[in-house]
Amino acid sequence: MNPQTALALSALSFAIAGSVLALSTYIALWTGLLSFGTVAFAALGAFTTTFLINNMDLNFWLALLVSVIAGGIAGLIVGKVFIKLATHWLALATVALVLIARVLVVNFPGFTGGSGGTVVPVKLSIWELGLLLIFVCLLLSRLAQSKFGIAATTTREDPQVAASLGVPVARVRVIAFGISGALGALGGVMLSTQLGYIDADTFFIAFCHCYRECRPRRCLSLGGIRRWGCCVHRFAGIHKPIHDSWPVHY
C-alpha cells in the first residue's frame, strides 16, 4: 500500500474514534454542562475491554458491550454526585476526576498493567470503526427527536424555565452523564484498538493535550454548536499529518 494512503487511512481511523469521544463530550454540553469526564470514561472502557480479553478470554464484542455498560453506570454515578455543582465548578470537578482516575490506573496493575501499561490484542478495521460511528450518530439522531432530546435542549437554553415547565432538570442531566459515559467508554475502546498499547499516560496526557489544543472556532465555523460540529472538527484535523508527510519536490 502507498505510504500516503496508509497514513490517510490511519489518520481517518483516529478521527473516527475521536469523533465518538467528541460526541460523548457533546452529550453533557447538550444539557448546558461542561464536563471533561470523557477522558476518565474512555480509560475505563479501554482498560476494561483489554482486561476482559486478556485475562478472561472474552469475545471482543461482548467485552465491548460490558465496557459500554460499565461506562454508562460510571457516568450515572458521576452525574449523581456532581450534579449539585454549577458552571465552572462542575468542569473543575471533572478535571479532578480525570486526575484521580490516572492515579487509580497506576495503582491497580492487576487490572490496568499499572505504569507499564498493557497490550491491546484487537485492531478494528476502518469499516468496523465507521459502522460504530454511524450507529452512534443514528442513535443520537433518534435521541434528539425523543422526549429526552427536547428536555435536554430546553434545559440547555434555560434551566429555570425548563424546571417551571415541568422538566426534571437534574434527572435529565444525570441521564446525559450516563450516556456520555457509555459513549466515552466506546470511544476509548475504539481508540485503544488503533494504538495497540495503552498505559497510564495514554488518555490522561494525550487527551488533556487534545482538549488544550481544541479550536472552538473551527467547530463553530464548520459544524456549529451541534452534535455534528464535534465530528466535523475531528475530521478537519486529519489533513495536517497527511500534509506534513507528503513529499515535497523542488
Whether 136 shows a pLDDT value over 90: the answer reads yes
Per-residue pLDDT band at 223 (split at 50, 70, 90): very low
List the domain range (segments joined by +) for residue 127: 3-245
Domain containing 96 — which CATH number? 1.10.3470
On whether residue 183 sits in a domain, the answer given is yes
- Grid cell for residue 154: 430546553
Q: What is the mean pLDDT of the segment spanning 228-243?
A: 50
On whether residue 141 sits in a domain, the answer given is yes
Whether 1 shows a pLDDT value over 90: the answer reads no
On whether residue 250 sits in a domain, the answer given is no
Buried b (16+ CB within 10 A) or exposed e, 13-46: bbbbbbbbbbbbbbbbbbbbbebbbbbbbbbbbb
- Which of these ranges, 32-46, 192-206, 217-231, has the smallest mean pLDDT? 217-231
The per-residue pLDDT for 207 is 54
Structural domain tally of the chain? 1
Whether 15 shows a pLDDT value over 60: the answer reads yes
On whether residue 233 sits in a domain, the answer given is yes
Contact 93, 82 (CB under 8 A): yes
- Which of these ranges, 70-74, 146-150, 193-197, 199-203, has the smallest mean pLDDT? 199-203
Pairing label, strands 197-198, 118-119: antiparallel
Whether 233 shows a pLDDT value over 90: the answer reads no
Contact 113, 220 (CB under 8 A): no
